[in-house]
Amino acid sequence: MSEFRIHHDVNELLSLLHVRGGDGAEVYIDLLQKNRTPYVTTTVSAHSAKVKIAEYSKTPEDFLRKYDELKSKNVRNLDPLVYLLSKLTEDKETLLCLQQNAKERSEMSANATSTSSTNFTIPPTSTKMSMQELEELRKKLGNVTASSSVQQSAEVTRKMLRDRHNKKNPMQPNPVFPNWVYERPALIGDFITGTSAVVDPTVAIGTMPLAAQEQALVEDLLYVLIGVDGRDITAQPVLGRQSRSFIVDPTLDMSIKELVHRILPVAASYSTITRFTEEKSSFEYGQVNHALTAAMRTLMKEYLILITQLEHLHRQGTLSLQKLWFYIQPTMRTMEILASIATSVDKGDCMGGSTLSLLHDRTFNYTGDSQAQELCLYLTKAASVPYFEILEKWIYRGIIKDPYSEFMVEEHELQKEKIQEDYNDKYWDQRYTIVQHRIPSFLQKMADKILSTGKYLNVVRECGRDVTCPDAKEVLYTLKERAYVEQIEKAYNYASKVLLDFLMEEKELVTRLRSIKHYFLMDKGDFFVHFMDLTEEELKKPVDDIIPPRLEALLELALRMSTANTDPFKDDLKIDLMPHDVITQLLRVLAIETKQEKAIINADPTDVSLSGLEAFSFDYIVKWPLSLIINRKALTRYQMLFRHMFYCKHVERLLCNVWISNKSAKQYSLHSAKWFAAAFALRQRMLNFVQNIQYYMMFEVMEPTWHIMENNLKSASNIDDVLCHHTSFLDNCLKDCMLTNPELLKIFSKLMSVCVMFTNCMQRFTQSMRVDSEMSRLTLEHGTMEGPPTQSERTDEAEKKRLTSKYLAEHADALQADSGFEGTISKFDSNFSTLLLDLLDKLSMYSTNDCEHSMINIIYRYVLIYFAEALVSKCLKSAVSSQPKPPLNYQ
């Protein structure tokens, strides 16, 4: 059972039990996933569980009757459910809770119905009917309703099945029998209950001698055994799916009547089998049922031959009632089994795989009764032939030819081209799916391999290559499952090898993944230096002002100028400008199926337009069939990792630019330069933080995880393993890079924002100091070695003064007093230290609680750097200050 199925079932159970509040479904889902064990149904365990529930039940007869009814309908998972209920009977606390819940629900439903109930009264009748008149009226109504309702329900069922088939296969309409086949009941071979037989009222059989009664009853029985009403034995109308019953003349001698009642079940079975074979042989009920009815008709021929021989003996006057009973006894068991199978298939509305499951279970359950088991084995083999033909085409060629929707694998119309367009497209999971109730019970264990085998071959076929399994052999049903299990295993191994070799060798899957790693995981350092240098000015613009073709041209130039030029797939790399920044995108993804989802999705978009750096991402063109592995969902994960690292690289470049611009402070006086001591230390701490987080992500998360995936791909035996390893690689990278935890993500985002704000502030301060120095220089009246300044030099100097004064007027807020500057730096230092300590605290908590050992490396690295930076900061402040001051409190 998949995680999504467990999630759905738990939520449904909580809804049915009206459970509100508490820890929610997630806690129960985790417990189920950690503690679940496979349950293997056996006859002994199911029987003991049934007995235990019957002992605890107040009405054991009703329970056993309901169990037998569901068992006759071949209900799936009935025995595991009974086993679960038997376990619940042992848990007193759970039983008490369920009883209380049932009581509350019944009270709620009673209150609801009492408000909307309506009282009906039956009007009194003025006349009374005699019992004889009432019985005659009942018979007439029974004849009319039985014949009309059965015919109408069968017609409605056929029409529904026909419409479903035509909707699924509009180009191949379902063939239909002509109407006269259904409108002429005499063609069916069963009793005609709409007419009444002509009976001579003057002669009652009870008045005749015993020998004459016996001869008359033998003749009646021979007619009744082939579906024709006799003179003294008549068939009752069948209501719904009930078994046929008969009315025997009450004046008949008791000894003869007793023997007649022993023989009549054979006639009832014959009626059941005949109705079943006539109804289920229609095209609408599928090929399996058609094959089953054909096998039953073959067996019925022997029965009809026996009746013909008995008629011949009767004409010769040598067939007595005792002889008839003697000759008919060997056939009774066969007819009983056939009628029982027909009734079960009819009650369970079985088709295709469910019919085969029922036949297989019957065959298995008749172990010890060789005659009954041989009979069921014959029927199962005959019915399985069309199903196994569909199976052979699927596992040997990857083709489904299932016109009547009987096969366990169902095909859905999905376009493989949409894999690169739609994030939610699940082509690999939804193009072909398993339909549980169509799986024969003897193929239940192999269902997943059957699905995968055909899917693998189908992918290769859709790439234009015809494939046929070299080990293809006819699959035949047998009680020894190993025979066809071996065939399925061989087909699965061949299909796995064909598709894996096709993707790995011909389509170069690993080389493609390495190409994606170069760009999305920033594996090519020189390429990114060239690219960020070329696009720095363009990406500073608002996203609406950026011209994508210009970025594409710069990307092409960076690819040609770096070592990425050797990549054969570099032309598949494209530019993508996203509508959200990476933090917003990640938070929206993490909010899916949570309480915050609606609030985040419906939140008003921010008025601040994104810059090119915030919206920038790479995209990659992947064609079929590689798009099965590198689908839109995988590319989105790659994009999240890239945007996160790209923004870290951008912040690192900003801090490095601050370092370059701060070098100009060396030419200023010591009194001015000491203002920057704390800023220098803080800038270095921020730079160390950003560089170390990049080092951690690239060399302690992505590289080791990539090598693990690469080794796993070498040992992968099928495409599902490849999908699993690739998805696991991306999920582990996202988790270890702190992108799947909203709390860590928000703290990290704030740290990056503080770094960006600090760099902007330092750039303004540095620019202000340059302007101040320039003003001081321009206000001095000076000359040169060649003499006093000329008139043109004075004019240029006056123009510089004017422009400088204008700049100062526009940036007056940037020029602050000594105390204001020092206070701003101290505030940045305090915010950065608080957020960093908060991040380390959260990392320590998650690494301990969730056993995320990789995050401990960040803690060790940051703690060492943190105290080293505090020591350096203290030394710097002592060097530039005449009176040493105590360092900032980092605790």
Q: pLDDT (tens digit, 9 = 90+) per residue, 54-74?
A: 777 778 778 887 877 777 666
- In which band, very low, low, confident or very high, does the pLDDT at 706 lie, cut at 50, 70 and 90? very high
User: What are the residues whose beta carbons fall under 8 Å from the beta carbon of 754, sequence distance 6 or more?
Assistant: 686, 828, 831, 832, 835
Report in angstroms the alpha-carbon separations of 430 from 8, 434, 435, 631: 18, 9, 12, 14
Between 548 and 155, the more confident residue is 548
Distance CA 489, CA 763 (A): 68
Lowest mean pLDDT among 190-194, 458-462, 817-821: 817-821
Q: What is the pTM of this model?
A: 0.68
Lowest mean pLDDT among 24-33, 597-606, 698-707, 769-778: 597-606
Mean pLDDT of 138-155: 51
Give the bridge partners for 271, in sequence order: none
Distance CA 591, CA 732 (A): 19
Share of the chain above pLDDT 90, in %: 8
- In which band, very low, low, confident or very high, does the pLDDT at 384 lie, cut at 50, 70 and 90? very high
Helix (H, G, I), strand (E, B) or coil at 615: helix
Between 474 and 872, the more confident residue is 474
HSE toward the beta carbon, residue 784, CA cutoff 13 A: 5
Helix (H, G, I), strand (E, B) or coil at 234: strand
Between 571 and 156, the more confident residue is 571
- Predicted pLDDT of residue 812: 40
Element (H, E) at 752: helix 742-779
Share of the chain above pLDDT 70, in %: 67
Token couple for 292: 């089953």
- Predicted pLDDT of residue 668: 53
Q: Contact 188/275 with Cβ under 8 angstroms?
A: yes
- Predicted pLDDT of residue 846: 74
Distance CA 19, CA 13 (A): 9
Average pLDDT, the chain: 76
- Predicted pLDDT of residue 386: 92
Q: Using one digit for the tens of pLDDT, what is the confidence trace for 323-362?
A: 989 999 989 999 999 999 988 888 888 888 889 988 998 8
Distance CA 298, CA 311 (A): 21
Mean pLDDT of 670-682: 64
Chain Cα centroid distance, residue 794: 80
Mean pLDDT of 238-246: 77
Q: Using one digit for the tens of pLDDT, what is the confidence trace for 439-487?
A: 888 888 888 889 989 888 888 888 888 787 887 888 888 888 787 888 8
Look at residue 426 and tell me whether its pLDDT is greater than 70. no
Helix (H, G, I), strand (E, B) or coil at 577: strand
Between 27 and 212, the more confident residue is 212
Ordered alpha helix ranges (H), 431-547: 447-462, 482-501, 509-520, 525-539
Token couple for 12: 């449904």
Lowest mean pLDDT among 48-62, 149-163, 444-458, 873-887: 873-887
- Predicted pLDDT of residue 707: 93
Chain Cα centroid distance, residue 85: 27
Mean pLDDT of 726-748: 86
- In which band, very low, low, confident or very high, does the pLDDT at 250 lie, cut at 50, 70 and 90? confident
- In which band, very low, low, confident or very high, does the pLDDT at 513 lie, cut at 50, 70 and 90? very high
Mean pLDDT of 101-119: 62
- Predicted pLDDT of residue 729: 92
Look at residue 19 and tell me whether its pLDDT is greater than 50. yes
Considering only the C-alpha atoms of the chain, give the largest distance between any 2 of them, rounded to a whole number of Å: 162
Q: Angle formed by the axes of helices 742-779 and 818-849, to 10°?
A: 160
Distance CA 634, CA 727 (A): 7
Q: Which residue in this structure is represented by tokens 């949570």?
A: 594
Q: Using one digit for the tens of pLDDT, what is the confidence trace for 83-96?
A: 878 877 777 777 77
